[in-house]
Amino acid sequence: MIIGYLSLLLGCNTDTTDEEKNYDGQNFSINCEGLQEHFVTTPTQSVDYWTGYWECFQESNGCQGESCSWSNDDLPEYVISGDCSATTTCTIDGQEIQECTSIEETGYVSFDCSTDGSISITANGLPDHDVENYSVAGILPPLLGSAVTNTRYELTTEPIYNADSDVFESGGGTLAVAVNSVSVFNQFTGIGTIAVTDETVDDCGGHPANGTYHYHAFPICGELVDNRKGNVGNHSGLTGMSLDGFPIFGPYGYDSALDSSSDVVRMKSCYAQKECDDETDSNCYTFDEEGYGNGDCHLDKCNGRITAVPENYQDALGTEIYAYYMTVDSAENPAFPYLPYCYRGNVESGSSNGGSPSGGPPDGGQSGGPPPIPLR
Flag whether pLDDT at 93 surpasses 50: yes
325-335: string of b/e by CB count within 10 Å (b at 16+)? bbbbeeeeebb
**Phi (first) and psi of residue 264, to 5 degrees:** -95, 125
Q: How many CB atoms lie within 10 A of CB 24?
A: 13
Closest CA to 185 of 172, 204, 202: 172
Mean pLDDT of 139-158: 95
Q: How many CB atoms lie within 10 A of CB 242?
A: 28
3-state secondary structure the chain: CCCCCHHHEECCCCCCCHHHHHHCCCECCCCHHHHHCCCCCCCEEEEEECHHHHHHHHHHHCCCHHHCECCHHHCCHHHHHCCHHHCCEEEECCEEEECCEEEEEECCEEEECCCCCEEEEEECCCCCCCECCCCCCCECCCCCCCCCCCEEEEEECCCECCCCCCEECCCCCEEEEECCCCEEECCECCCCCEHHHHCCCCCCCEEEECCEEEECCCCCCHHHHHHHCCECCECCCEEEEECCCCEEECCEEECCCCCCCCCEEECCCCEEECCCCCCCCHHHEEECHHHHHHCCCCCCCCCEEEEECCHHHHHHHCCEEEEEECCECCCCCECCCCCCCCCCCCHHHHCCCCCCCCCCCCCCCCCCCCCCCECC
Q: How far apart are CA 155 and CA 152, in angstroms?
A: 10
pLDDT tens-digit map of 216-271 = 999 999 999 999 999 999 999 999 999 999 999 999 999 999 999 999 999 999 99
pLDDT tens-digit map of 160-203 = 999 989 999 888 789 999 999 999 999 999 899 999 999 999 99
Strand 271-273 versus strand 183-185 pairing type: unpaired
What's the confidence (pLDDT) of residue 172?
78
What's the confidence (pLDDT) of residue 234?
97
Mean pLDDT of 7-29: 65
What's the confidence (pLDDT) of residue 170?
87
- Angle of CA points 243, 245, 246, to nearest 5°: 105
Q: How far apart are CA 60 and CA 89, in angstroms?
A: 12
194-203: string of b/e by CB count within 10 Å (b at 16+)? bbbbbbbbbb
Q: How far apart are CA 362 and CA 34, in angstroms?
A: 41
Mean confidence (pLDDT) of the chain = 88
Instruction: Give the pTM.
Output: 0.89
Q: What confidence tier does 376 reach under pLDDT thresholds 50, 70, 90?
A: very low
What's the confidence (pLDDT) of residue 348?
62
Flag whether pLDDT at 366 surpasses 70: no
Flag whether pLDDT at 78 surpasses 60: yes
Flag whether pLDDT at 357 surpasses 60: no
Instruction: Determine the residue type at 269.
Output: S
What's the confidence (pLDDT) of residue 275?
80
Mean pLDDT of 25-41: 97
Mean pLDDT of 93-119: 97
pLDDT tens-digit map of 277-316 = 899 999 999 999 999 999 999 999 999 999 999 999 999 9
Q: How far apart are CA 368 and CA 336, in angstroms?
A: 20
Whether omega for the bond prior to residue 76 falls within 30 degrees of 0, making it cis, is no
What's the confidence (pLDDT) of residue 328?
97
